[in-house]
Structure 1
Amino acid sequence: MRFEGILPENAPDPRIEQARLLKLMPIPVMGLVPQPALEEMDTVGLQSSEDDRGYSEMSASLSYTLWRNPNDHSDPINLADIDEEQRNAHEYVPPWPRPAWLVEHLERLRYPLLWAAVQTSWHRDPSKGPSVDEQLVDHVNYILMNQFRQERGLSGYPWDKPAPDVTVRAVNHRVKVLVDGVEVPAAEIDTDPFVYGIGAELHGGGVVTAVIPRAELGHVRIEFATRA
């Protein structure tokens, strides 16, 4: 969520509209299995395309708060790795009332975020949509582009050459992953220095992918389950 200007205390909670739109997803939304180190953010990233027949494709992305020490949320190790300026911005309390949902959202930003970590994608005509490999590559590059610009040598200058993007040549198929407790063939990208990615086709149609920062892999169990 992004906010601009001063929101009145009674500003509507955007999660209500997100929940309404999420019901339009033709297939169940997948997430990571419940685990102590992860707490699902209650905001869902939704994207869709339409034509004269209705929705032609949709995707839903889930983000998670990461608890490096899930047994003690007050442990400083759980705080996000940000500089002092960013931390002061998160802790600043303005002299005007704010919506309760906004205060809650800003509080969560004090902790590490696995942003858009799991994506469920649906295409009305699977034969015309991207393959599991292509969907995984797109997800990996999306995370790299948005979360690892500095690490990849990117800046805001348009003449800067971007670091090489991940391509389908990086995909490995010699792996499996659990989806609702069932082991299924998977596609994996384990060659990027910053992130690890894995994805699979869903039995009822669609694709699920996960992209996790390598620095946090030790805290995360990558198994998929239908989101409640």
Structure 2
Amino acid sequence: MRALSFPVFQLRPQPSLTRIPGAGFMEMGTGVRAGTGAPMGVAESSVSLNYTLWRHPDDHSDPRNEIELDPGLRRSIDEEPPWGRPAWLIERAQLLKYPMLWEAVRTSWQASPDPERHSLSQQLVDHANHVLRNRFREDLGLPDLPSEGDDGGWEAKTSTARDAVVTVDGQNRSGVQIDTDPFVYAVGFRVDEHVVCTVVVPRDSLPLIDLAVTTFQ
């Protein structure tokens, strides 16, 4: 992230959230140079941050923080395999016991933004549908793998986006929100001409967290 040319944003540090180390990255190139196969440059880039959610933040060891797991998954988390695991992997596996806000905050950059495809509302919808598609398949009645039978009726639409106010580094900024989906809430703001920040979280986590945003770097 330190090598990026644009600012990255995070949810304001708070007791009910712990940012999970690492980040998700996406890049799209502008094409390749004829006859060389070498990339010409980066057209789009995004960074996504994940969080562990603590329902009882005063005591992380409180069993009420844990989610329900099937016995097989719990054994794979708790039992050490014969070949062993490095300490960082053991620690990361333990996080699977708790709710995760998956790719909750996405900061996106475009070299040459398209007014329609890269509008704030469209990028917020894209982020919301990405989370729905990957984390709420069972709730949406979707098959385990994408299929032609999916009519897309579950997807968020730009027509549902409404004006919102987002607190960014302690200041109120104009943004947009999607507050109509039964499973997720989404809000975002434009940082500048090239950069957008969007936040998508499970609706049932809203009472536990503050959606204020701060600059991560």
Relative to the length of structure 2, the TM-score reads 0.89
Structure 2 counterpart of 1:170: 160
Q: CA deviation at 1:80?
A: 2.2
Count of residues in correspondence between the two structures? 206
What is aligned with 1:200? 189
Partner of 1:26: 5
Residue 15 (structure 2) pairs with residue 36 (structure 1): yes
What does the per-residue CA deviation read over 1:160-194, in whole Å, with 9 as the maximum and x for residues that have no partner?
43551111011111x21111111111110000000
**Paired-residue identity, %:** 39
Q: Contact 1:65–1:112 (CA<8 Å) still a contact in 2?
A: yes
Pairwise CA distance, 1:83: 2.7
Is structure 2 residue 59 aligned with structure 1 residue 72?
yes
Maintained 8 Å contact 2:112/2:194 = no
Q: What does 1:53-132 align with in structure 2 at a 5 Å threshold?
A: 53-127=40-114, 130-132=118-120
Question: What are the residue-to-residue correspondences of 1:134-173 with 2, within 5 Å?
Answer: 134-156=122-144, 158-162=147-151, 164=153, 165-173=155-163
The 8 Å contact of residues 117 and 210 in structure 1, kept in 2 or not, is answered as yes
SS of residue paired to 1:145? helix
Q: Could you tell me the TM-score, scaled by structure 1's length?
A: 0.85
Structure 1 residue 36, shift from structure 2 partner? 0.4
CA contact (8 A) 1:153 1:163 kept: no
Measured in 2, the distance between the counterparts of 1:127 and 1:212 equals: 26
The aligned residue for residue 35 of structure 2 is none
Q: How big is the shift at 1:159? A: 4.9
Show structure 1 runs of 5+ residues with no match: 1-21
How far is 1:156 from its partner?
Answer: 2.9
